[in-house]
Amino acid sequence: MSDQSSSKIISETISNTSNESGNNFGFIESVTDINNRKDNLIKTETVGHASVKSIVPLELLRHIYLPQKPHDRIFDPTTRTISYLQPRSYLPVNSLIQGEKKRILVTGGAGFVGSHLVDRLMLIGHEVIVLDNFFTGRKNNLAHWIGHPNFELIRHDVVDPFLIEVDQIYHLACPASPPHYQYNPIKTVKTSVMGTINMLGLAKRVKARFLLTSTSEVYGDPEEHPQAETYWGHVNPIGPRACYDEGKRVAETLTYAYMHQDSVDVRVARIFNTFGPRMNENDGRVVSNFIMQALKGEELTIYGDGLQTRSFQYVHDLVDGLILLMNKDYMEPINLGNPDEYTIREFAELIRNEVNSSSKIKTLPAPTDDPKKRRPDILRAEQILGWKPRWPVKQGIGETVKYFKRQMEAGLIG
């Protein structure tokens, strides 16, 4: 079978099976059928890693977050009304035998990163339970799984205790963008501290493996460049970002205290700037700000001189890293980020060109404690996980721009 033929199987599987309700969830072939012919599909674009059996055809994921047509709603632009459709079927998921199928809890699973992680875990074939208080998460990010036998969505705040029997816990719950975590700094600290205590306590009770999604913010405004996991950071403990920065630092302290004192099986991922579909258009992050401003023809706002640097990774690379880390026998912190470094001004120009916008760039005063440089040292991830970013930033920007355009066309953002 040629590479073109194998690609055609996937695309026809997705595009030719819309039912009479307008729902295009149906599929001719299952993921298992496609995986059974993996030798013939070896060059088909995929995400995931064979070492942890997480490989998924990229077209299946794109069918979720970049559907040709909205698969759960009809939007009438004249009356600006939405009719929600009743799903009749779901994307095919792998059928795992009893010893391979895990019950996995994802806190913050309705958020940007969490929902992509849930998609991947579901397609792999696991049972997934999502906890989210929907402060920044959205039900729409998971609507395509609601009602599935392997999926459960629970509105719950991790600040309050929660009991359930699970095998693994991905702890993502915490607002991650400055406008959101600074909106209620006390709540942000509580989420990082009390929420982490509750989830570590749960992991201890049920003997589940626990993965904390920490952040590159633990390095603060770094005096070391690039930042390796051995760097202790340069953080202002009383500044406007401290509720998040120090909250995550304490979360790491708690994680290793539970490991040393109570033998909890832990993993810690320090996540650098990540972007992709399902970002909140109002979250104040560089990527979403620039894309929305460019699409609206507004000026692109840069804070400071625009020479501060950031490293941006596409969300698929991050999810790959999280799943690899969860399934590796390694307990030290690991950076997950793209070492390609851009100035903020360069990134604004990249997005403006991708949108083909004539928007001008204007500068505003730099926010307090804004890091001058941010770039991960990923040697540990490469050596321990066999992981490194595979998505070019420009390709990721293209998909993200397409996502925001479709959200605007569907009347979901303005």
Give ∠ CA 287-292-294 in degrees, rounded to 5: 95
User: Rounded CA gap, 195 and 107, in Å?
Assistant: 10
User: Rounded CA gap, 137 and 98, in Å?
Assistant: 31
* Helix-helix angle 286-296:344-355, to 10 degrees: 40
Return all residues near 379 (Cβ < 8 A) that are at least 6 apart: 228
User: Rounded CA gap, 257 and 209, in Å?
Assistant: 15
Catalytic: 314? no
- Mapped onto helix, strand or coil, the DSSP state of residue 355 is helix
Closest to 327 measured CA to CA, from 94, 126, 145: 126
Where do the H-state alpha helices sit in 227-343? 242-262, 286-296, 315-326
Return all residues near 251 (Cβ < 8 A) that are at least 6 apart: 192, 193, 196, 212, 214
**DSSP state, 358?**
-
Task: Tell me the DSSP string of 44-106.
Answer: S-EES-GGGT--EEHHHHHHHHS-SS-SSEEEETTTTEEEE-------------TTT--EEEE
Active-site residue (options: 181, 244, 258, 342): 244
- Work out the number of other CB atoms within 10 angstroms of the CB of residue 147: 11
Give ∠ CA 26-151-13 in degrees, rounded to 5: 20
Q: Look-up: residue for tokens 């609601």? A: 146
Question: Which tokens sit at 121?
Answer: 């875990």
Which residues form the catalytic set?
244
